[in-house]
Amino acid sequence: AIPLVVAISTAISARKGLLIRNRTAFEEARKITAMVFDKTGTLTEGAFGVTRVSVLAPGLDEATLLALTAALEQQSQHPIAQGIVREALQRKLALPAIQDFQSITGKGVSATVDGRPVVVASPGYLNEQHIVLPAEATSNGTETVVFVLRDGQLAGYVALADRIRADSKEAVHRLQAQGIKVYMATGDNQQVADAVAKELGLDGVYAQVLPDQKVKIVQDLQAQGQFVAMTGDGVNDAPALAQANVGIAVGSGTDIAAETADIILVNSKPTDITNLVEFGQATYRKMI
Ligand code: ADP
Ligand code: MG
């Protein structure tokens, strides 16, 4: 049987924008000492607009590069992909046919276009492939940049901008007021991560994080004796959500993230997490 206090708490929490899948996790919310947010779609709105399209290879123009990129991104659900496709449609570009589409989880996408391999991916992916990034592509602090490779060569890049959610700062400050350290883990580049961290006053930031490294971040904090909560919205976040003491999937996220999580954040509002922690403590006080 479900203890009455838990049943009541669960019902109340649903009204507060939270869906509890694992009631012990809800009771454990009061024990959280470290909160790890993912950036895109959680601390930020995850609504990207294209700010720049830049060609780096001879024989290509901006429209062709954007059309090529959008052709791959049409197959992806990522907020970056949606921003790129929207821009291509606004420019009324005809998108080329693609074959062999594959998602490179947490890194990008790949396909074959006119018999040539094309990859659209993060700076972290280029580093892994030992491809040197052009300086001007990484210098702008607030832009997210994805790179286009054709035949394994750098063809150009697309820069996009996202916005910090209106209630992110309040959420961070209220968690810190409860003595909780607030971190961000993101696959995005260091400059973007630092800009968001500074704006929100975070205790720490992990940038250019690959999917398996998110699990490691949670494990390292746990090894330091921290009781770790982690949010995520993507397939790539599922293992880290499972590793965390409290795994929180944001409502707009994928089903796999939601299935792995203890708690689902229905409205994707960071302050609902703050409410969860404060409410968890209030509930605990009622039980003792
Ligand atoms: P976050 O941790 O901010 O939620 P993700 O882990 O979802 O970011 O993605 C990490 C990085 O991988 C993105 O910043 C981007 O550079 C790259 N990436 C992921 N999916 C795509 C995609 N469909 N197209 C291009 N780049 C992508
Ligand atoms: Mg994500």
**Full pLDDT tens readout for the chain, 288 residues:** 455 445 545 555 555 677 777 777 777 888 999 999 988 888 998 889 999 999 999 999 999 999 999 999 999 988 899 999 999 999 999 999 999 999 998 899 999 999 999 999 998 899 899 999 888 776 567 789 999 999 999 999 999 999 999 999 999 999 999 999 999 999 888 888 999 999 999 999 999 888 789 999 999 999 999 999 999 877 778 889 999 999 998 876 567 667 778 888 888 888 988 988 887 777 666 655
Query: What is the SS3 string spanning 134-148?
Result: CHHHHCCCCCEEEEE
Give the closest residue (by CA) to ligand 1 atom 2: 186
Calculate how far, in angstroms, residue 126's C-alpha sits from the geometric centre of ligand 1: 13
Cβ contacts of residue 18 below 8 Å, gap of 6+? 263, 264, 265, 266, 272, 275, 276
d(CA 78, CA 86): 12
Q: What is this model's ipTM?
A: 0.94
Active site residue 38: yes
**Which residue in the list 38, 162, 188, 237 is annotated as catalytic?**
38
Domain annotation for the chain: domains and CATH numbers: 4-45+164-287 (3.40.50.1000), 49-161 (3.40.1110.10)
274 strand-pairing partners:
none
Q: Is 78 in the pocket of ligand 1 (CB under 6 A)?
A: yes
**Cα 154 to Cα 108, 146, 169, 226, distances in angstroms:** 14, 11, 37, 42
Ligand nearest to the CA of 257: 2
Task: Detail the DSSP E strand segments found in the chain.
Answer: 18-20, 34-38, 49-55, 99-104, 108-113, 116-121, 144-150, 153-161, 181-185, 204-206, 228-232, 246-250, 263-265
**Which residue, among 73, 72, 94, has the nearest Cα to 82 in the 3D structure?**
73
Q: Count the residues in the chain.
A: 288
Give the tokens for residue 141: 């602090």
Calculate how far, in angstroms, residue 288's C-alpha sits from the geometric centre of ligand 1: 44
Calculate how far, in angstroms, residue 2's C-alpha sits from the geometric centre of ligand 1: 40
- Looking from the CA of residue 211, the nearest atom of ligand 1 is 6
Task: Detail the DSSP E strand segments found in 162-215.
Answer: 181-185, 204-206
Give the closest residue (by CA) to ligand 1 atom 18: 108
Q: Is 172 in the pocket of ligand 1 (CB under 6 A)?
A: no
Calculate how far, in angstroms, residue 106's C-alpha sits from the geometric centre of ligand 1: 5
The confidence score (pLDDT) of residue 52 equals 93
- Looking from the CA of residue 44, the nearest atom of ligand 1 is 3
Q: What are the φ/ψ torsions at residue 229 (nearest 5 degrees)? A: -110, 145
Entry pTM? 0.79
Chain centroid, CA 59 distance in Å: 34
